[in-house]
Amino acid sequence: MNTLSILARYVLKIVTFITVCSLLNFGVSNALADELWWNTGDGWFFDGANWSPAGAPQANDIIRLGNVPVAASSTVTMGGELGFHYGELFLSNGVTLDMNNSELVSFGTAWINGNGTRLIVRPSAGPNFHDFNGTLVLGQNSYFELKDDVAVRLFSDSVSSGTILGRGTVLAGDFTNNGIIRPSNNGGLIIDAGQPSPINPIDLDGTTGNGHLQLDQLFSVLTVNAGSLTDSYSGTVSMAPGTLLAMNVDAGWAADSNSEINVAGFNNPAAASQISGTDMVFGGQMNVGGALGHLRILAPIEFTGTAEVNIGGTDWLEVDGATVVQGGQFTLGQGGKLEFDGTTVMQGGEFTTVNDNMANGFIAFNGPTNWDGNVTLNGASQQNGSANVTNALGAVLTAQAFDMDGAAGKTDWNVNGNLTINADRIGTTNASRFNGNIDIAGGFFPKLSVNLTDANASWTMGGTMNLSGASNLYETRVEGSHMIVEGELNVTGGRVRIDADTTFSGSGVAPAQVQIGPADSVLRMQGQTVVKRNVSFLGMGTFQNGAVCEMTLMDEVDLGSVGLSNHGLLEIDPFAGAANVNSFENTGTWRVDIGGFLAGDEHDLLLVGTGDALLGGLLEVDLIDAGGGLFLPGIGDEFTILRSLGNVNGTFLNDPVSMLNGHQYNWNVLYRPHDVRLQLSSVSVPEPSMFGALVLAGVIVVSRRVRRD
């Protein structure tokens, strides 16, 4: 096009714009307006012969298309005029009005009604930015179609009960959608509440609550820009693969309990449907299913207690944005996947997969997760991202198979509140092994309770566990099912308790390592404790056996620079053995096994390092079979049971008595500056009354244990 043609078109556009503006602002009086109706089948809009009364419509006229039978289902084509101003426009009875590069402009209303009735808007060279300007009232089963990225403007009180579809931008503040909004797959639709900043509310679900956002064409896009919605969304969203719903609502938006989001896959899982935009609150029904359905929620989202999320077999829901789960029901079919990839706060909800096998579908928490409520995980679930418990009252997880350390076995848990996990297992196998990192903070509330369904089951702490105390009280940090420690357990300071029965293993991938930090740190074991050989102890603190608790140090256990304090029942190996500690305090009961004269092999020996041995409490002596038959010592025989590089202070509260084969073995305890010995003083047959008294006193143990290889 040459320069003169461009200039001529530009001048014509200005003249037309001035004319239209004049009509809009000063208009022709309705009293002067004519009412015309289409009197034929298909034809050209500006052909006067096609109208009754005769003559083409003029500005401000009332236009009717389809009100007479002959016009039904006809196609009326505009074009040849840059713009046209109508008073009112009525389309009905299946008529199609194709604007065909013309503009329609009016402060009046465009009424479009009837099955198949359609207004098609295309870009025009006319003077206005928006190629349709007016109030739109769109009836059921009728269509307002945008072509080729056209821009239209709907004035206040516009309402649609039909279908708005195609590709373009709709500037529509104070707009009500009772019908369908259906974008195309080549750019889609933008519903904009106003420029430069959205300020007007949009009613996307209409007064009926049945508004439908229908993204059923592959890769179609619907963008909503608004300050707010007039109310929560109660309608339906339908999404095909590759579609995008971008809800840019300044105040955020909510889809309530009546809403529904349906996502189909069409066997195209790589093309995920997506929801993006501002904060979203969801309390309705979300269905991801049908031929490898895949939905990604990119927007921040909050699932309320009324949410119902259904993920079909082989289907997939990814929640990528910041997420809060207040509650709701989440159900997965065979092979379904639900993944939380962003920062997630778990306050409630019930999640169900078909079984506890990850291969058959799972729930995965891949991003940082804050557990802050009661959550039920039926089936298979996995914590891959870091996990936090920040609320003092903590969280309760009721699960079947909850893989605490994730697929990589490296998950970090920061427990600053009371975390209770009630589960069949906490790993992918029945071994319930945890290889990640657990930090349990100091204070009254932080605590980990692992309660396995099988009362005889145990779980293995194969990673790192850091325990902190915050007061002079013994604060419980771990309780519940039997814990096997094969990793690192560190007391970073203070006084802490483990109430669960615990075995410190010297086998596994590597022997356990226990570090009890500064000299004033104490790790109190408040259950049944077994420490096996090869376990490494570091630090300068104290390893304590709590009152009414039992602790067994297996043969060759070495606490290194860590001291031992016994307030319960202490035993060195169930048969006979030697153990090393830095210091020793006894206020409970120390059970000593004697099956021969060889210290550490046939009878118990406790070796104390540079720290002192402070004796008190009770001493119990068992006669055992150490491999050569039941041992029967003679009067005067002595056995060294304690040696110390430091001082030996205090005494036991009793001289022990052993009973074997109806005989009473009476022992003297010999205290020396650096050792303690037992000497058999006499053997007698007790009087029946004395025997009963000894039983009541609780100092008799009849032992016929046999040393194992």
* Residue 32 near residue 60 (C-beta atoms within 8 A): yes
Q: What is the pLDDT of residue 20?
A: 41
Averaged over 488-497, what is the pLDDT?
Answer: 97
pLDDT of 704 higher than 90: no
pLDDT of 282 higher than 50: yes
Could you give the strand order of the β-sheet that contains 482-485, starting from the edge strand earlier in sequence? Answer: 433-434, 458-461, 482-485, 502-504, 528-531, 550-553, 569-572, 589-594, 618-623
> How many residues in the chain?
709
- Residue position matching structure tokens 């356990």: 512
Q: What is the pLDDT of residue 15?
A: 38
Averaged over 530-538, what is the pLDDT?
Answer: 97
670, two tokens: 């010999």
Task: Give the dihedral of Cα atoms 221, 224, 229, 230; nearest 10 deg.
Answer: -90
Averaged over 230-241, what is the pLDDT?
Answer: 97
pLDDT of 700 higher than 60: no
Q: What is the pLDDT of residues 369-386, one digit of tens each?
A: 999 999 999 999 999 999
pLDDT of 699 higher than 70: no
Q: What is the pLDDT of residue 397?
A: 98
Averaged over 164-171, what is the pLDDT?
Answer: 97
- Cα-atom radius of gyration of the chain, to the nearest Å? 41
Q: What is the pLDDT of residues 61-88, one digit of tens each?
A: 999 999 999 999 999 999 878 889 999 9
Averaged over 531-542, what is the pLDDT?
Answer: 97
In sequence order, what are the residues at sequence separation of 6 or more whose Cβ sits closer than 8 angstroms to the Cβ of residue 601?
576, 577, 578, 626
Q: What is the pLDDT of residues 114-134, one digit of tens each?
A: 999 999 999 999 889 999 999
What is the per-residue burial (b if ≥16 Cβ within 10 Å, else e) of 297-308? bbbbbbbbebbb
Q: Which range, of 362-366, 510-514, 585-589, 641-645, averages the lowest pLDDT?
A: 510-514
Q: How confident is the model at residue 197 (pLDDT cuts 50, 70, 90)?
A: low
pLDDT of 557 higher than 50: yes
Q: What is the pLDDT of residue 570?
A: 98
Residue 357: what residue type? N
Residue spans of the domains in the chain: they are: 571-697
To which H or E segment does residue 183 belong? Answer: strand 180-183
CB atoms within 10 A of CB 38: 24
Report d(CA 501, CA 498) in Å as an integer: 8
Q: What is the pLDDT of residues 246-255, one digit of tens each?
A: 999 999 999 9
| Three-class SS state of 267 | coil
Q: What is the pLDDT of residue 29?
A: 38
Q: What is the pLDDT of residue 688?
A: 64
Q: How confident is the model at residue 266 (pLDDT cuts 50, 70, 90)?
A: confident
Average pLDDT, the chain: 91
pLDDT of 27 higher than 50: no
Q: What is the pLDDT of residues 600-610, one digit of tens each?
A: 999 999 999 99
Q: How confident is the model at residue 270 (pLDDT cuts 50, 70, 90)?
A: confident
Averaged over 678-693, what is the pLDDT?
Answer: 77
Report d(CA 382, CA 408) in Å as an integer: 11
Q: What is the pLDDT of residue 431?
A: 86
Omega before 53 within 30 of 0, i.e. cis: yes
- Write down the H helix ranges in 604-684: none
The proportion of the chain whose per-residue pLDDT surpasses 90, expressed as a percent, equals: 84
Q: What is the pLDDT of residue 199?
A: 63
| Three-class SS state of 679 | strand
- Residue position matching structure tokens 């995920």: 272
β-strands 513-516, 675-684 pairing: unpaired
- Write down the H helix ranges in 555-660: none
